[in-house]
Structure 1
Amino acid sequence: MDLSNVAVFMDRDGTVSKEIGYVNHPHRYELLPRTGLAIKKLNQSGIKAILATNQAGVARGYFKEEMIGQVHNKLEDLLEAEGAYLDAIYYCHHHPRVGEGKFKKECNCRKPEPGMLLQGKEEFGIDLERSYMIGDKISDVEVAHRVGAKGILVLTGYGIGDYQNAQDDWKVEPDYVAEDLFDAVEWILMDLEARED
């Protein structure tokens, strides 16, 4: 089964790493348990592992854009130590209502807008209808469905609260609700096998 044009897009905070609010220093950044194992499984399967994260802390003035790069360097180092890697990292530093200058704007990249997933399609020839988005907010599921992908809600980060308290307000339903990123990846691999049969 050729999975080279399949991607798993992942939210960052609360999905790949601990949700601690705005990460304004690399020392505050920590992976969630089993994240390295989950991404390594994707690497071994040939599926593209892509980070897609809203980082409006820049627009809000909480930190400079360079901080995002520093945090992502730490993320890549932590994954490398576990034998895993990301194929791409996309982030949106805009906010439609807050901030100044170029950071305050309506954009196509802030989830649930699909810009980051479309960027993956453009850069890697991704078949979005065979692909997935994993996140701890229902907006991550929403962005997946906008491009024909499957959306998975993890119960880490904001996910457990969203699942238990906000379901009545959801505009979309997750294709799967996972304990964590590793559980989500295991389900994806089974789902892909079932779809290919």
Structure 2
Amino acid sequence: MNQPLDQKRKAAFLDRDGVINIDHGYVSSPEQFEFIDGVFDACRHLQQQGYLLIVVTNQSGIGRGYYTEQQFYALTDWMKAQFALHCVTLTDVFFCPHHPVNAKPPYQTNCNCRKPAPGMLLQAIEKYQIDPGQSLMLGDKKADMQAAKAAGVKRKILVLSGQSLTEEDKASADEIWPSVKAALTAV
């Protein structure tokens, strides 16, 4: 899609675990990866509406030593291929392998990329010339909403993925959807 040089793009930022796939905890292989029902249709719809699809995912399992960056990259390549089979292009995947406490060096750090910090979103905004005021964030945790707010993302959508959310969690979002599938009618 060609954009005029002075026009910024819009993006749909997607958390991975709990939005794209069922969060089984530290998912690191295709065998553990279970796509959420309707995610391909929803993402195709967002793409057709002109959104770049950008995954922003905390992956402290790397820092904790549960799996390696190479395993994460292999799973990401597989995931992107599954989307491509459904005529959906994931523009990019940004990830944070860090944790401030529960990680091993060099991953044990208080970084600016681990959500709720906005670092991954800000990197994507700069790299792809994204207008956060036209963009949205789909996440399943308060930290996703906080990162989006800090990055200036206009529309913060909390998807209910089975985990229990407090009223405070829900209050951090602009909208609450039963799942990513709601994009078909809400965007």
Contact 2:41 2:184 in 1 (8 A): no
CA distance in 1, matches of 2:56, 2:176: 19
| TM-score of the two chains, using structure 1 as the length reference | 0.85
Shift of 1:185: 5.7
SS at match of 2:61: coil
Q: Which residue of 1 aligns with 2:66?
A: 62
Amino acid at match of 2:76: H
Q: After superposition, give the CA deviation of every residue in 1:4-25 in whole Å (9 maximum; x if it has no partner).
A: 6111100000101111111132
Contact 1:142 1:172 in 2 (8 A): no
Q: Which residue of 1 aligns with 2:132?
A: 128
Go from structure 1 to structure 2 and tell me whether the alpha carbon gap of 1:170 and 1:24 turns closer, same or farther (over 3 Å shift). Answer: closer
CA distance in 2, matches of 1:76, 1:123: 19
Contact 2:141 2:169 in 1 (8 A): no
Q: Which residue of 2 aligns with 1:181?
A: 180
CA distance in 2, matches of 1:185, 1:115: 28
Amino acid at match of 1:39: C
SS at match of 1:15: coil
Q: 1:85 pairs with 71, 89, 103, which one? A: 89
Shift of 1:171: 8.8
Contact 1:4 1:46 in 2 (8 A): no
CA distance in 2, matches of 1:183, 1:171: 17
CA distance in 1, matches of 2:122, 2:73: 21
Percent identical among aligned pairs is 33
- What root-mean-square deviation, in Å, do the aligned CA atoms of Structure 1 and Structure 2 show? 1.8
Q: 1:156 pairs with 161, 178, 182, which one? A: 161
Over 3 Å off, 4+ runs: 169-172
How many pairs were matched up?
181
Shift of 1:50: 0.4
CA distance in 1, matches of 2:142, 2:109: 22
SS at match of 1:101: coil
Contact 2:101 2:109 in 1 (8 A): yes
Q: Which residue of 2 aligns with 1:113?
A: 117
Query: Gaps (5+ residues) in structure 2?
Result: none
